[in-house]
Amino acid sequence: MAAHSHKRYLPWWLLLGAALLFAGKAQAYERIASLNLCLDQVLLHWAKPADIVSLTWLSGAEQYRSLPIPQHVQLNRARAEELLPLQPDLVLAGQYGAQRAAQRLQTLGVHVVTIPDAYSLEQLQRQLDALEQVLGPLAPLQRQKRALSGLLEQSTGGGRPSAVILSANNITYGSGMLEHQLLQRAGFENLVSGQGLGRISLEEVIALRPDLLVFYGSEQHFALAYLAARHPVLQRYIDSGRTYTLPSQLSLCPVLAVVDTLQQLMDKRETLVKAQ
Amino acid sequence: MLKHNKSAVFLLIAALPVALIGALGSGPVSVDLVSALAEGWGGQSSDAVILWQLRLPRALLALLVGAALGMGGAAMQGMLRNPLAEPALLGVSSGAALVAVLFLYYGTAWKSGWLLQALAIGGAFSAAAAVWLLAGRGASAGRLVLAGVAINAFLSALIALALNYAPSMFAMQEVVFWLMGSLANRGWDQLLLALPFLGLGAVCLFFTRNYLRALALGEDSAASLGFQSRMYPFIILLGIASAVGGAVAVAGTIGFVGLVVPHLVRPLVRQDPAKLLWVSALAGALLLLLADILVINVVGAQELRIGAVTAFIGAPFFFWLIVNARRGQWL
Amino acid sequence: MSYTAEQGIEAACIALGLQRGRKNVLRSVDCTFKPYELTAVVGPNGAGKSSLLQCLSGVQRPSAGRIVFNGEDAGRLAASQRARLGAFLPQSETPAWSLCAADMVALGLLPWGRLPDREQRVQQALLLVDAQAFAERPVTQLSGGELRRVQLARLLVGRAPLLIADEPTAALDIRHQLQLMQNFRSLADSGKTVVLALHDLSLAARFCDRILLMLDGALLAQGAPQAVLTPSLIGEAYGVSCEFRWRDGIADFVPLDLLRKSSG
């Protein structure tokens, strides 16, 4: 059985080999596939739709869909067998997940590039560089890069209002996390100074008395996880406009959301400082 | 003997405010209780807000849910003449939880709390009615319990299934909230939703208290004492469904309280199935509040589900029941 | 109702029928129970004695015919009112909880609500069945006979003019059987209407005014003991040959041998 399929794929191998030779020179890929939800989104937002051949099925799922998927794009479940017949000239993989498929494709001679994940601003910048290197100087990508470094160079004015992140299931974000860095860069002081992810009870939120209460992600569907954020004790924050909601895109694919989020947080700080 | 019993009930009542103070003093943040209390309802300091908006409603909700479960358990045991009966056993709790889960995760019922409560109570009642039908008219307690266990297992599986396919990505991990119960992050809104239904349940059970007394002698004797109407079991089921269903919709299914509490307090009321209702409500409230204090102080924000704690208390009690039964006492 | 509960009651069954599943457990039974009368319902197992008593007490709704109390259809009475008129002790009455004996007896007063002389009535009833010694004992710890006596006290504690008991003497020792029958006799003599299902034909013959002999859901005979308890009727009902020796109004019933059952 295995030998049989090898024989069947032989012509494809030759073809792929040839494609690879060309790819080295041409740089601009025309048949790009992705094995990673975030990279799906990156391609959808930044690459030419005609250059995309396949994205993961998650991008088609209702809760993750941010842009319509072009008709010709095939959805994959991160299996090498699905991608091979599509003859991709570039397969983008994330650092984690779909590793088996990525390796298999690589041994079969497909050009696979692993894009590092990003959990901090520094990693985000490296990710942008890596994306630019492989995808070429796409205009929206470069715009995003410029906008990000522009925002990071901006110095925030005086006054550092305090903030606390209250995410689903009472999760909060401490130092080392991208969300924490964004707050800092926007001129806020994150009152949760612990390392990484932590839990925060409503009592602690109230006792910390942050100037800004930051929720995370919009609740499209009910879950008990959101009970804390819907607790009436937080109503005063909502009524006085001292809340901000981080987009859920920030956790799925920060590279796309980071600029908008940082800009909105800066604006929010501005209004808070003015109001004080 | 009688005096001794009365003072035990009095002790239960006296323990409530003590436990309440204990609950108000428990939490991840240390709060100056006296000054927070002095500030009153509208206090703006974080201590006052924590006390009045977070700790008090949660503690009162624990009391209310515990009372509903204790009372429901006492009524269920009285109605089935079976010391192993429990609202969870007849599928009342899981019926309410299933409906709550369906409407919360698939619908928009959570935007209107009253609707959710009413639906959950409907679920509780239909589950109990399904057991009733499955067991057949005038079924023996044994057959009814068997039917209850079957329906309950089926409903619990449906809850897990419903959450498995729910669109929210948190749904799957929340199976445990619904099957084990939780009081975390609940506020006045949930308390006010559950309260009227506990009241309605108590009124239903108050009207049927003498039927429960007569039923201690068996169905024929109860009928000869003037309680032959089919309305009585119906009203009892409605009362149980209302109190327990209302509690489950806001706190999930919390097991063992309805089983353990009536057993513990039955000697205090000289085995009277009617007085048992009220003393069980009292003791159930106290037990659940104590369990919640344990949850807050020992486990903290990383919430152990309160149902796990009550199971810790309940399981050894079950062992004791079995040992007692083997000695041929009353099973 | 035009009479008070303390007054006598005449209960009549008119063409009473009862179906359980496809079986006719009662077939067109006509009989009357009067004040000052102690009636025994006798018959072999499955003859319909319990069903008759259950219909009479209102525990069972008859599928045909009706029960009449002092000329009024008992089926139209409110359940609570009917309970105040007739008290019933089923064949078996196992308490679900280990109530103490006195509390169990007090349950017999439920149809009357809170009576002021509740405590005295309970003590009196316990005295009547010789059970005051274990008034405070949990009923689950009593022997079968002791429990039966407590149940009888539960029956007698109320003020119902009609007393119905299904095999009250079962499980009792001879002393308490005798005491119990004497109690029922004097209750009948005081104006109550008493109906008992009995297996002991000697006791029935000795204490009762009337005997109802049942077979296969129908009345085989009714009347005074001497008229009903004859070897031929007993033979037809039970399938045994027997002998009654009457001495000073006391019957000595001696079953002799099995008769070959005539088929049909």
In a domain, C204, yes or no: yes
pLDDT of residue B136: 65
Which residues lie closer than 8 Å to C172 by C-beta, 6 or more apart? Answer: C145, C148, C149, C180
Q: What is the DSSP letter of C138?
A: B
Please report the pLDDT score of residue B294 as a whole number: 87
Flag whether residue B302 sits within 8 Å of chain C, measured between CB atoms: no
Contact call for A224 and B177, based on CB within 8 A: yes
pLDDT value at residue A82:
87
Angle (CA) B277 B281 B286, round 5°: 150
> Which of B225, B228, B264 should we substitute to test contact with C (largest number of C Cβ atoms within 10 Å)?
B225
Identify the burial level of B145 via C-beta atoms within 10 angstroms of its C-beta, where 0-12 means exposed, 13-18 middle and 19 or more buried.
buried
The backbone torsions φ and ψ at residue A114, rounded to the nearest 5 degrees and listed phi first, read -95, 125
The pLDDT value recorded for residue A27 is 59
Nearest to C101 by CA among C76, C75, C73, C129: C129
Q: Return the number of CB contacts < 8 Å for B and C.
A: 84
Average pLDDT, chain A: 85
**Which tokens is B160 given?**
């897990």
Q: Which domains does chain B have, with CATH numbers?
A: 2-321 (1.10.3470.10)
Neighbours of chain C (3+ CB pairs under 8 A): B
**C83 contacts B220? CB cut-off 8 A:** no
For the stretch B201-219, pLDDT in tens is 999 999 999 999 999 998 8
Q: Which of B55, B182, B188 sits opposite A232 (nearest CB)?
A: B188
Listed residue (B302, B10, B123, C172) closest to A201, CA to CA = B302
User: If phi over 0 gives left and psi between -120 and 50 gives alpha, with beta otherwise, what is residue A194?
Assistant: beta
The beta-carbon neighbor of C58 closest among B216, B217, B223 is B223
Lowest mean pLDDT among B12-16, B320-324, C215-219: B320-324
Q: How confident is the model at residue B40 (pLDDT cuts 50, 70, 90)?
A: confident
Mean pLDDT of A45-52: 90
Q: Which residues of A touch B29 (CB under 8 A)?
A: 201, 203-204, 206-207
Inter-chain contact C88–B224, Cβ cutoff 8 Å?
A: yes
Q: How close is the nearest chain B Cα to the Cα of C103, in Å?
A: 8
| Option in C59, C96, C111 nearest B220 (CB) | C59
Residue of chain A with shortest Cα separation from B52: A233
Which of chain C's residues have a Cβ under 8 Å away from the Cβ of B1? 136
Domain region containing C63: 11-93+160-258
State in Å, rounded, how far the first CA of chain B is from the last one.
25
Looking at beta carbons, which pairs linking B203-207 to residues 24 or more positions away fall under 8 Å?
A: B203/B239, B204/B235, B204/B236, B204/B238, B204/B239, B204/B242, B205/B71, B205/B75, B205/B236, B205/B239, B205/B240, B205/B243, B205/B277, B207/B235
CA distance B299 to chain A (A): 12
Q: Quick one: how many helices (H) and strands (E) in chain C?
A: 9, 12
- Architecture field, domain A27-115: 3-Layer(aba) Sandwich (3.40)
Residues A112 and A55: beta-carbon distance below 8 Å:
no
Which structure tokens are listed for C17? 């029928």
At residue A1 the predicted structure's pLDDT band, cuts being 50, 70 and 90, is very low
**CB B92 within 8 Å of CB B124:** yes
Q: Chain B: list its partners (3+ Cβ pairs within 8 Å).
A: A, C
ipTM score of complex = 0.89
Flag residues of chain C having pLDDT under 50. 1-5, 263-264
| CATH 3.40.50.1980 residue window(s) in chain A | 27-115, 149-275
In a domain, C141, yes or no: no
Residue A92's nearest CA partner among A76, A107, A113 is A113
Task: Verify whether the Cβ–Cβ distance B217 to C100 is below 8 Å.
Answer: no
Which 225-254 residues of chain B touch chain C by CB within 8 A? 225-229
Average pLDDT for B84-112 = 81
C223 falls within a domain: yes
Give CA B94 to chain center in angstroms: 12
- Give the burial class of A273: count Cβ atoms within 10 A of its Cβ; 0-12 exposed, 13-18 middle, 19 or more buried: middle
Tokens read off for A138: 């796409």
Strand partners, A54: A33, A74
Q: Decide: helix, strand or coil at residue B208.
A: coil
How far, in Å, CA of B42 to CA of B264, rounded? 40
pLDDT digits (tens, 9 = 90+) for B48-96: 999 999 999 999 999 999 999 999 999 988 988 888 788 877 788 999 9
pLDDT of residue B108: 66
- Answer yes or no: is pLDDT of A22 > 60: no
Q: Do B271 and C59 touch (CB under 8 A)?
A: no
Q: Looking at CA atoms only, how far is residue B46 from chain C in angstroms?
A: 51
Average pLDDT, chain B: 86
B182 touches chain A (CB under 8 A): yes
Using the predicted structure, report yes or no on whether residue A15 has a pLDDT greater than 70.
Answer: no
- Say which of C80, C95, C138 has its CB closest to residue B216: C95
B116-151 pLDDT, tens digit per residue, is: 888 888 999 898 778 777 876 556 667 777 888 889
Query: pLDDT tens across B287-296, in order?
Result: 999 999 988 8
Cα three-residue angle C87-C89-C90, rounded to 5 degrees: 135
b/e code B295-311 from CB counts within 10 Å (16+ = b): bbeeeebebbbbbbbbb
Long-range contacts of range B132-138, CB-CB < 8 Å, 24 or more positions apart? B132/B233, B132/B237, B138/B219
The answer to whether A203 touches B50, Cβ cutoff 8 Å, is: yes
Cα dihedral sign for B141, B146, B147, B151? positive
Which residues, at least 6 apart from A61, have a Cβ–Cβ distance to it below 8 Å?
none
- Best probe of the B interface among C20, C52, C59, C67, by most B CBs < 10 A, is C59
Q: Per-residue pLDDT averaged across A70-74, rounded?
A: 88
pLDDT at residue A227, rounded to an integer: 84
Q: What are phi and psi of A261, to 5 degrees?
A: -60, -45
Answer yes or no: is C229 within a domain: yes
Kindly report the nearest CA distance between residue A184 and chain B, in angstroms: 25
Residues on chain B touching C92 (C-beta within 8 angstroms): 218
Contact B172, B163 (CB under 8 A): yes
Query: With an 8 Å Cβ cutoff, are B167 and A224 in contact?
Result: no
* pLDDT score, position A13: 58
As a whole number, mean pLDDT of residues B286-309 equals: 80
Note the pLDDT tens digit of each residue in A204-262. Answer: 999 999 999 999 987 777 788 888 888 889 988 999 999 999 998 898 889 999 999 99
- The nearest CA of chain B is from the CA of C259 a distance in Å of 36
Q: Which of residues 94-133 of C touch B (CB under 8 A)?
A: 94-100, 103-104, 107-108, 110-111
C-beta of residue B225 within 8 angstroms of C-beta of residue B282: no
What is A149-275's CATH topology? Rossmann fold (3.40.50)
pLDDT at C10: 94
State residue A24's pLDDT score. 44
* Adjacent-strand bridge partners of C222: C212
Contact (Cβ atoms closer than 8 angstroms) between residue A41 and residue A251 = no
pLDDT tens string B191-203? 998 999 999 999 9
Element (H, E) at C169: none
Q: What pLDDT band is residue A25 in, cutting at 50, 70 and 90?
A: very low
Percent of chain A predicted with pLDDT > 90:
38
Token duo for residue A225 = 């996880």
Min Cα–Cα distance to chain A from B304, Å: 13
Closest CB to C79 among B226, B329, B330: B226
**Is residue B38 scored above 80 in pLDDT?**
yes
Question: What is the least distance, in Å, from the CA of B80 to any CA of chain C?
Answer: 9
Q: Phi first, then psi: give them for residue B40, nearest 5 degrees.
A: 85, -175
Q: Coil, helix or strand for A223?
A: coil
Contact check, Cβ <8 Å, B27/A203: yes
Q: How far is Cα A119 from Cα A125, in angstroms, rounded to an integer?
A: 11
At residue C82's C-alpha, the angle toward residues C77 and C87, to 5°, is 165
- By Cβ distance, the residue of B49, B104, B188 closest to A206 is B49
Cβ density class A57-75: b for 16+ within 10 Å, e for less: bbbeeeebebeebeeebee
For residue C108, tell me if it sits in a domain: no
Contact of B109 with B116, CB cutoff 8 Å: yes
- Which parts of B231-305 fold into alpha helices (H)? 231-251, 257-265, 273-294
Give the dihedral of Cα atoms B67, B68, B73, B74; nearest 10 deg.
60
